[in-house]
Structure 1
Amino acid sequence: MNGKQITKLGFEKKAIKLALAAAGQREKAGLSRHEILDELQAVQANPQAYLTGGVYAELATELTSQQEAQQARQTAALRPTPLPYRVWGEDLIEPGARTQMDVAMQLPISRAGALMPDAHVGYGLPIGGVLATQDAVIPYGVGVDIGCSMRLSVLPLKPDSLTTDEARKLLLKHTRFGAGVSFEKSFRGDHEVLHEGTWRDQPVLRHLHDKAAEQIGTSGSGNHFVEFGTLTLPQADLGLEAGEYLAVLSHSGSRGFGAQVANHFTKLAQALHPTLDPAARKLAWLPLDTEEGQAYWQAMNLAGRYALANHDLIHARLARALGVQPAASVGNSHNLAWRQRVGEHDLIVHRKGATPAEQGQLGLIPGSMADPGFVVRGRGNPDALASASHGAGRQMGRKAAANTLAKRDVQAYLRERGVTLIGGGIDEAPQAYKRIENVIARQGDLVDVVAQFTPRVVRMDTGSEDV
């Protein structure tokens, strides 16, 4: 007997191995290939009859489990009404984001949720949506840019120790932005994340390793940035004395690697739920007790570590160029899923564009290219699933911003605030975003503000039309 013959019968994955093992025992007992195939078909047709014991018991258990999972997937109807959830800054949130969150809270796997004040429409789960599910993970609940994250390095330098021209030259030399970009080989960094054995555990990860290695230490397009600015610390904290410091703030993710992981597993999730309501199509999930669910969980966490590695290299390059070591560092991811205790249950908490804010946990909430960002400390609010906003949040879509905002108005906004911009498109203009001060004011019960970062020299990818 061989695997090809068993596969032809319709056995899949783990069941093939179990069927081969059972067939081997029956061959030793003297049965012919034809007789064994007949027995396997009988087990396949009625596995419950073989659960009590015998050579086919393990195979029958696996087949029964697969059948139950398939039945559960195909009868996954949405709840008639959404589960209740809290909303922060409701006056700042567009109706479309509320509609998306309502659909997410109708999923049969959903248990709790919250919407942050920077929320706006996304794919599947809205940006700014926090969703807790039971034993399942939603690829689009995490997002396409898996592990998208923030990093702040506070340098032991005064803000005026670096001129605008010097900051500009450093950013041009030590950062790269845009789809598919990478550093020259002689300048490309290395990182321990690239040498993890995890890359060899799945075909999709093996296939994407070289791309990830090529793009390490770079940033994508859209709202990703690296900027020099002034950190104002009103009182001693972060292991620092009160005062003003030169600081580097970056927003970056998992590049093309994370995007391809997201798309690959979203297709698998949608194939598992062919009858899912079209309104929830982009919220298709992977049960964590399946091979697909475990594979995504592994790939997602690797992408999260890879995104943090990009920040490591960016900040190390800039600090090394300045001949200093950071005096303090703060960072957080805001496009991931975490295992978290919620009430009396262990759930999977998706934060798609939301900052983890457990009691005492430090995080970063940036504004726009010309507006301040904030170092915050979480208050662990259980109604928000210990979360906060991840930024100011868009009040205008990219196309709308590019079509309606005038370049001269954006440039005037930058000049008024003393910001020098490298790259950056009209679609990322400050006017396309909510006022960060309003967003921060709506979440006083979620975080406490520790310090303010004021941008001075900002680098981003070029947009549809440069500012």
Structure 2
Amino acid sequence: MITGKELIQWGFKPGKWFPGAIADAQRMESEGRSEDEIFACLQSLMPVEMMPRTNALPFSIFLEPENDVERENLGLVVKAMDALLRTPTVASGVVMPDACPAGTIPVGGVVATKNAIHPGFHSADICCSMAVTVFKRNDDPKKILDTAFDITHFGPGGRKDHRGWDMSKELTAKFKSNWLLSDIVHIGNSNMGTQGDGNHFLFVGHLRSTGQPAIVTHHGSRGPGAMLYKRGMALAKKHTAIVSPKTPTGAAWIEADSDDGRKYWEALQVIREWTKENHFRIHDRIQAALGNQIVDRFWNEHNFVFRRDDGLYYHAKGATPSFAGFSPDDDGRTLIPMNMSEPILITGHADNKAALGFSPHGAGRNMSRTQYLRDVIGSRQFDDVLKAETKGLDVRFWMGTPDLSELPGAYKSARQVVSQIEKHGLATIKDFVDPYGSIMAGDWEKSMPWRNKK
């Protein structure tokens, strides 16, 4: 009986594929196949190891720093992209004006890959996205914000009582038909109608062009997306450990044209549908409570994987698509927020080829939350900081305790980001949603001290 020792003598290299190769060899031997036939068959099965590049591919940078803090931030972003563009599947990359370092791929980074989906490049917050609904009647914005505060739900976890918020029957059926999602229907239900923590928000304002009131929400796929990401990373690590063991685990990938790759791609589209349904279920509840007519709405993701006509997979980690047909429901408009005190941009596509057809997803950060609280907020009085930063806007924190790391000063200059969008032709600005106020989760660790182990 053929053993692993014999296969090594034949010149085959041991690895995670080896137990299967031994079993195949023994099966073929039992079928009466010759050693030459077995050898030829195993050669076709042996994975070809893909080595990381020695040098990174060149990439475009649209971030133009104006001070030392921004220059330091850019240096960290470039360092991360340089490591990323050594990954053997990567074909090209770009850095947006709002870029900042955040693990494997910087926020504001876009990476195109060949036949590869990298879960680590879209992260756990799959399909983080923006959605706007415009109302006909000019209701009091305070009334709109009061209504929204009562209806939505922020923070970790889902609704304990999610009756009336369950997923639609069509979406439930799609969850059940994909093995990566079939056992998390209950999470899809409990998380429906909820928004996250951190920089996720519900914004109330007016269209500058018409004066009509509008609500804008910013969130991702919550618990269902986080579960899919976890499972996708497990598949990716298993595959990459065989075909490219020297690639860092954060850059692991699933072969797109494999069975796992096809199912993961399908699951991503289902999670996208969940996120869209979640945005507009919240909007619809607010509309019903107000009794106001909806005259316009649209949405777009800015943290997702897009497949273009060139066959490449474009991983946008905090970057807004700016090319026609980026999604089945693309109507030529996208939303780019800045911070709670600045207007939200309504933009049209520009499809700058040097930018891989993307634009920024917001204002981004120049420093971590901890550094901002330590070096910028410091010992300043809380009320003074909040008043200065929010400029009289109606800003609310759903959990009661404000999160100072989400104040406008924690973000890059909106003026600077907008000027770079216009200078480089990353998008065309069509309109603005001017702010009245917004709701954010707040500091949930302080609001729920039982979560803090200390």
For the aligned pair, the TM-score class normalised by the smaller chain equals 0.7 to 0.9
| Structure 2 residue aligned with 1:410 | 385
| Cα separation, 2, equivalents of 1:65 and 1:155 | 61
Q: Does 1:435 align with 2:406?
A: no
Alignment partner of 1:223: what SS?
coil
1:132-211 to structure 2, matched below 5 A, reads 132-158=112-138, 161-164=139-142, 166-182=143-159, 184-202=161-179, 204-211=180-187
- Shift of the 244–36 alpha-carbon distance from structure 1 to 2, 3 Å rule, reads closer
Alignment partner of 1:251: what SS?
strand
| Structure 2 residue aligned with 1:312 | 280
> Conserved in 2, the CA contact under 8 Å of 1:419 and 1:457?
yes
| Structure 2 residue aligned with 1:286 | 254
Q: Does 1:394 align with 2:365?
A: yes
- Shift of the 328–77 alpha-carbon distance from structure 1 to 2, 3 Å rule, reads same
1:369, distance to aligned residue in structure 2 (A): 2.1
In the alignment, structure 1 segments of 5+ residues that lack a partner are 1-8, 20-34, 50-59, 234-242
| Cα separation, 2, equivalents of 1:111 and 1:391 | 25
Listed one character per residue, the Cα deviations across residues 74-132 of structure 1 (whole Å, up to 9, x for unaligned) are x3222122211211123255321111111222111111111110111122111111111
> Conserved in 2, the CA contact under 8 Å of 1:182 and 1:218?
yes
> Conserved in 1, the CA contact under 8 Å of 2:322 and 2:426?
yes
- Shift of the 421–270 alpha-carbon distance from structure 1 to 2, 3 Å rule, reads same
> Conserved in 2, the CA contact under 8 Å of 1:147 and 1:305?
no
Alignment partner of 2:311: what SS?
strand
Q: Does 1:358 align with 2:323?
A: yes
Alignment partner of 2:131: what SS?
strand
1:66, distance to aligned residue in structure 2 (A): 4.1
Alignment partner of 2:211: what SS?
strand
| Structure 1 residue aligned with 2:77 | 97
| Structure 2 residue aligned with 1:31 | none
Alignment partner of 1:179: what SS?
coil
| Cα separation, 2, equivalents of 1:348 and 1:229 | 35
Alignment partner of 2:136: what SS?
coil
Alignment partner of 1:442: what SS?
helix
> Conserved in 2, the CA contact under 8 Å of 1:193 and 1:305?
no
Counting aligned pairs with the same residue, the percent is: 26
1:242-261 to structure 2, matched below 5 A, reads 243-261=210-228
| Cα separation, 2, equivalents of 1:356 and 1:123 | 22
| Cα separation, 2, equivalents of 1:43 and 1:363 | 62
- Shift of the 214–353 alpha-carbon distance from structure 1 to 2, 3 Å rule, reads same
Q: Does 1:223 align with 2:214?
A: no
> Conserved in 2, the CA contact under 8 Å of 1:150 and 1:333?
yes
Q: Does 1:82 align with 2:60?
A: no
Normalised to the residue count of structure 2, the TM-score between the two structures is 0.82
Alignment partner of 1:221: what SS?
coil
Q: Does 1:374 align with 2:345?
A: yes
- Shift of the 44–369 alpha-carbon distance from structure 1 to 2, 3 Å rule, reads farther
1:324, distance to aligned residue in structure 2 (A): 2.3
Alignment partner of 1:146: what SS?
coil
Listed one character per residue, the Cα deviations across residues 316-366 of structure 1 (whole Å, up to 9, x for unaligned) are 11111111232111210111111113xxx3211111111010158311100
> Conserved in 1, the CA contact under 8 Å of 2:141 and 2:213?
no
Alignment partner of 1:98: what SS?
helix
Alignment partner of 2:204: what SS?
strand
Q: Does 1:419 align with 2:410?
A: no
The match for 1:323 among 287, 291, 294 is 291
Normalised to the residue count of structure 1, the TM-score between the two structures is 0.80
> What one-letter code is carried by the residue in structure 1 that aligns with 2:338?
G
| Cα separation, 1, equivalents of 2:44 and 2:130 | 41
> Conserved in 1, the CA contact under 8 Å of 2:121 and 2:251?
yes
Listed one character per residue, the Cα deviations across residues 378-400 of structure 1 (whole Å, up to 9, x for unaligned) are 11111111100011101221222
Alignment partner of 2:183: what SS?
helix
| Cα separation, 1, equivalents of 2:38 and 2:137 | 70
- Shift of the 39–175 alpha-carbon distance from structure 1 to 2, 3 Å rule, reads same
| Cα separation, 2, equivalents of 1:124 and 1:39 | 47
| Structure 2 residue aligned with 1:338 | 306
| Cα separation, 1, equivalents of 2:32 and 2:218 | 55
In the alignment, structure 2 segments of 5+ residues that lack a partner are 1-17, 325-330, 448-454
| Cα separation, 2, equivalents of 1:84 and 1:438 | 25
